[in-house]
């Protein structure tokens, strides 16, 4: 596996892995979304900062809260080095996760996450750009009546949106901190 390519994600939350198998390809890293303040943003909106990008949804009961907490804690442990990183939480459920919902969600976690949402088409384009799998699955016992199995790892992107690394959800906080230190100038 090269530094610019990853295989499709098989790690999913809320259910069995469901990503289709396909050859590895570089991540595109582009997006045009709305931040949790209602401002349009893209991969170039953050200047010389690295992006730590995690896709999920606010109704996720287990994996998303665990990952946001872990990633946020890792950023806190980085100390001043964390100023070089903008963490982003991108919804895979734009029908339910508007800007206000994303703002309320990310406010519960450390690290300074910015919640991103948009139209169904904008979110679909961002998912495609990052090769993220997500699919709504009816489940009467879940919040809102559905689950949303989705790719469950974070992407570290260089300024401007170039892929640097991915951080599987199996990593603990210390391993995340170590990997971030390896990639931050």
Over range 163-168, report the average pLDDT.
Answer: 94
Over range 6-30, report the average pLDDT.
Answer: 50
pLDDT in the model for residue 154: 97
Confidence of residue 4 (pLDDT cuts 50, 70, 90): very low
Domain ranges (residues) in the chain: 30-179
164's tokens: 């640097």
More confident residue, 146 or 5: 146
For residue 169, give the DSSP letter: T
Q: Is the pLDDT of residue 20 over 70?
A: no
Q: Is the pLDDT of residue 23 over 70?
A: no
Confidence of residue 164 (pLDDT cuts 50, 70, 90): very high
pLDDT in the model for residue 143: 81
> Is 33 in contact with 120 (CB distance < 8 Å)?
no
Record the pTM.
0.85
Query: Among residues of the chain, what percentage have pLDDT more than 90?
Result: 75
What residues contact residue 100 under an 8 Å CB cut-off, 6+ apart?
A: 36
| Inter-axis angle of helices 173-183 and 63-78, nearest 10 | 50
According to DSSP, the β-strands at 50-56 and 85-91 are parallel
Please tell me the CATH code under which domain 30-179 is placed. Answer: 3.40.30.10
C-alpha dihedral (183, 9, 64, 96), degrees to nearest 10: 120
> Is 154 in contact with 71 (CB distance < 8 Å)?
yes
Chain-wide mean pLDDT for the chain? 88
Question: Distance between CA 23 and CA 6 in Å, rounded?
Answer: 9
pLDDT in the model for residue 22: 38
Q: Is the pLDDT of residue 13 over 50?
A: no
Using DSSP, state whether 110 is helix, strand or coil.
Answer: coil
């Amino acid at each position: 596996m090269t530094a610019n390519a990853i295989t499709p994600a098989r790690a999913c939350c809320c259910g069995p892995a469901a990503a289709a198998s396909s050859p590895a390809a570089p991540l595109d890293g582009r997006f045009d979304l709305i931040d949790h303040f209602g401002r349009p943003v893209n991969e170039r909106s953050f200047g010389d900062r690295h992006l730590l990008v995690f896709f999920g949804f606010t109704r996720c009961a287990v994996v998303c809260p665990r990952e946001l907490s872990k990633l946020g804690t890792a950023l806190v442990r980085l100390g001043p080095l964390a100023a070089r990183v903008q963490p982003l939480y991108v919804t895979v459920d734009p029908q339910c996760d508007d800007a206000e919902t994303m703002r309320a969600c990310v406010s519960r976690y450390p690290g300074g996450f910015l919640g991103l949402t948009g139209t169904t088409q904008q979110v679909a384009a961002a998912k495609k750009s990052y090769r993220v799998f997500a699919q709504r699955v009816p489940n009467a016992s879940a919040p809102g009546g559905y689950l949303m199995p989705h790719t469950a790892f974070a992407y570290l992107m260089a300024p401007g949106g170039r892929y640097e690394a991915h951080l599987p959800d199996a990593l603990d906080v210390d391993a995340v901190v170590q990997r971030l230190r390896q990639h931050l100038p």
